[in-house]
Amino acid sequence: MNYRKNELIKLAEISPDTLRYYERIGLLSKPQRQTNGYRLFNDKHLNELRFIKTCRSLGFSIDDIRELQDLQSNSHANCHNADDIVAKHLANTTLKIQQLQQIQKTLQKIADCDQDKSADCKVLSFLIE
């Protein structure tokens, strides 16, 4: 099935800017051009956008998505490469969660300062230390 730009962005649930960005950086394969210059997209493009969108929702970087796309397009590629990408991303995500939990603990310790004057404020005192 063929889609015009507006149809594709509705089906993929993305913005026109996002579509242009993915085209510009080469994550989305080049669409066919009609004689009037309009781009004509197809199911392959829709599937590519859904793949990209899922990857982005999981926090994968553009470079990781590019590698995963390459693996997906090569049916003889080693799946261990995809596993390695996911393992690396999982390790980074775990580290970020730990860092965010530490930030949360720190913020909870300094939250709810009940002082009237900024000179006595435990939030401001903590941030100066």
> Residue 111's pLDDT band (boundaries 50, 70, 90)?
confident
Alpha carbon distance 81, 104 (integer Å): 35
- Supply the pLDDT for residue 65: 98
> Residue 113's pLDDT band (boundaries 50, 70, 90)?
confident
pLDDT one-digit tens code per residue, 46-64: 999 999 999 999 999 999 9
| Percent of the residues in the chain that have a pLDDT greater than 90, as a whole number | 74
CATH of 2-128, one of 2.60.40.10, 1.10.1660.10, 3.40.50.720, 3.40.50.1980: 1.10.1660.10
Strand segments (E) across 57-102: none
Instruction: Break the chain down into helix, strand, coil percent, rounded to 5.
Output: 65, 5, 25
